Amino acid sequence: MRSSDAHSDRPWLAAYDAGVPADVDVPDQPLTAFLDASAARVPERTAIRFFGRSITYGELDACVNRFANALLELGVRKGDRVALLMPNCPQMVIAYYGGLRIGAVIVPNSPLYVASELEHQLADAAPCVVVCLSALFRNLQPVLPNLPSVKHVIVTNIKDYFPGRLRVLFTLGRERRDGHRVQLPADGRTYAWSSLLARASKVTPQVEVATSDLALLQYTGGTTGVPKAAMLTHRNLVANTLQVRSWCKSLTNPDGSDVVMGVLPLFHIYAMTTVMNFSIAGGGTMVLQPRFVISDVLKGIQRERAQLLPGVPTMYIAINNAPNVRKFDLTSLKGAISGAAPLPQEVQTRFETLTGARLVEGYGLTEASPVTHCVPLNAHRTGSVGVPVPSTEAALFDPYTGERQLNAGETGELAIRGPQVMQGYWKRPDESDQVLRDGWLFTGDLARMDADGYFSIVDRKKDMIITGGMNVYPRDVEEPLYRHPKIREAVAVGLPDPRWGEAVKVYIVLRNGEAATEQEILDYCHANMARYRVPKYVEFRSELPKTLVGKFLRRQLLEEEQARAVNRASRAS
């Protein structure tokens, strides 16, 4: 049998790197079994590096047990929700695994949320405990009276796991100035992290947790509307961790002693899987940084000899454009997987030239834990999100009816099947039924598959622009603009237009020190894209609205345009 015939139902298998299996075996275990195994196998190996402090696997396991037992003493039981409100820090890892160890359901929250956004999400999830960074307590405290489910609040200071000298300097200098020093209320339900863990047992709690148990309420990014919580089980998370590790086998050390840069925020499912769970499953080291500061990232890669850098395009753009990037030794990097947004070819090429590492594009979504596709690490395909990862099926359906599977080369709605797919949306059965149909997860993304099984994301169904009866996908406008030497970032949206139905508008951020005119950009567009794709409007900005993981907020741009239109109409009347 020819290989093409052998893979007729999954043509992408022929594109897999050597050693990557068609399927992964998903063991019947909770996610915390990864930590159990690494702590038993390499207890003295560093699990976390944080501002120069090293935490070994043995120490991490003990901290996780202490936190788990502290939750039990507070009355938390299997199935209860535990909300986390922290940036990247050891406490985030400890609280995450500690809650899971006793069967609690973790609810991560963005540290950037204002009080009203936080209240909405916590009211929806109804956690009994919130674990909060002290600097974020001021956002949480005002909404607590409106959250009757919250019985306990645990507050931790960013310095709790600083090395000794830095801890002293921070206490004397920045702690009060930057809002980290807070007076906790004596209300009987607010606890200091350090004192709570100090009196808790480090013995592993005996709670039976099944692989089918709910592990996570992971809220979607909200880039297209109100965030919804995807219900992810231990099996979902274990499966996706193993899928990603099998894909990256050529980048990892045989003994698992890999160093992963943890710059992406751990509250986001992408970092949760590709940084935290990936690292712990192999017994590797994660280097955590609370914020993306380009100088700190470059120093961290050089100092820690980091090998893997999961990220988003805006991160790689920042590295490429750093004025002193060549002063840093980045040769330890082996690979980087970009997700969350399209990766411009120019960004990929420059990053690989600067570092010598492979940068490939992947694809996923919160509802799939999140990784579903990735470009093989030994392939050189641009403009594609790659092929489905092991144990994953993908198909394209008619975007209008959702009923007919399409052939290679046709554009349709991408649907996914695999062990990483969620159980549904929390308390939203109707919306769950809309996206989970006949065993498939319908992603809402328009895509094409070529004859080799490589997928290309055309765009979000909701982002497609119809102008003069022609379909225009934002990526078809943005990709040529990224090749312009003066342009750093570009986003295209469709605005209501009485003549065309919708008109294309682009928002552009120029590179530092560059200047350009609207006509210059339009002339470039006329020379580099089909006439119907050429923008009708160009707006220059110093920055563009993004989520914490670097996704452009098209919705916010459209809301700003709507507000402008209302103001113009009111002035005209």
The 3 state secondary structure assigned to 312-361 is CHHHHHHHHHCCCHHHCCCCCCCEEEECCCCCCHHHHHHHHHHHCCEEEE
- Nearest CA to 255 out of 36, 42, 2 is that of 42
Interhelix angle 90-101/57-73, rounded to 10 degrees, is: 60
Per DSSP, the three-state class of 123 is helix
Cite the DSSP H helix spans in 220-267: 234-247
Sign, Cα dihedral of 22, 11, 233, 68: positive
The CA-based angle 352-355-356, given to 5 degrees, is 65
Cβ(425)–Cβ(411) below 8 Å: no
Report the b/e string of 467-487 with b at 16+ CB within 10 A: beeeebbbbbbbbbbbebeeb
Give helix then strand counts, H and E, for the chain: 19, 25
Instruction: Give the whole-angstrom CA distance, residue 540 versus residue 304.
Output: 38
How do the domains of the chain map onto residue ranges? 464-572
Mean pLDDT of successive 10-residue segments in the chain (573 residues)? Answer: 54 96 98 98 98 98 99 98 98 99 97 87 98 96 97 97 89 85 92 97 97 97 70 99 97 94 95 98 98 95 98 90 94 94 86 96 95 94 92 92 85 95 97 94 93 87 75 83 94 87 93 95 91 93 85 86 82 73
Neighbours of 568 (CB within 10 A): 10
State in Å, rounded, how far the first CA of the chain is from the last one.
Answer: 74
**Residue the block writes with tokens 């139902």:** 9
Cβ(458)–Cβ(447) below 8 Å: yes
Phi-psi region of 52 (alpha: psi -120 to 50; beta: other; left: phi over 0): left
Instruction: Give the whole-angstrom CA distance, residue 361 versus residue 373.
Output: 9
Lookup: tokens for 227: 């965030």
> What would the DSSP string read from start to end of 58-94?
HHHHHHHHHHHHHHHHTT--TT-EEEEE--SSHHHHH
Q: Calculate the alpha carbon distances from 31 to 246, 252, 266, 419 in Å.
A: 17, 20, 16, 14
CATH tag, 464-572: 3.30.300.30
Omega cis (within 30) before 370: yes
Cβ(318)–Cβ(546) below 8 Å: no
**Residue the block writes with tokens 């992971």:** 218
Sign, Cα dihedral of 346, 347, 353, 356: negative
Neighbours of 403 (CB within 10 A): 9
Instruction: Give the whole-angstrom CA distance, residue 83 versus residue 108.
Output: 6
Cβ(464)–Cβ(477) below 8 Å: no
- Nearest CA to 17 out of 389, 456, 420, 449 is that of 389
Q: Calculate the alpha carbon distances from 189 to 26, 31, 100 in Å.
A: 40, 29, 22
> What would the DSSP string read from start to end of 157-172?
-GGGGS-HHHHHHHHH
pLDDT for res 18: 95
Which run of H or of E encompasses 150?
none
Q: Counting Cβ atoms within 10 Å, is residue 334 exposed (0-12), middle (13-18) or buried (19+)?
A: buried
Instruction: Give the whole-angstrom CA distance, residue 271 versus residue 257.
Output: 19
pLDDT for res 4: 41
Sign, Cα dihedral of 411, 492, 229, 365: positive
Dihedral of the alpha carbons of 511, 514, 515, 516, in degrees to the nearest 10: -60
**Residue the block writes with tokens 């005996």:** 206
Lookup: tokens for 173: 């200098």
Rg of the chain taking only CA atoms, in angstroms: 24
pLDDT for res 509: 96
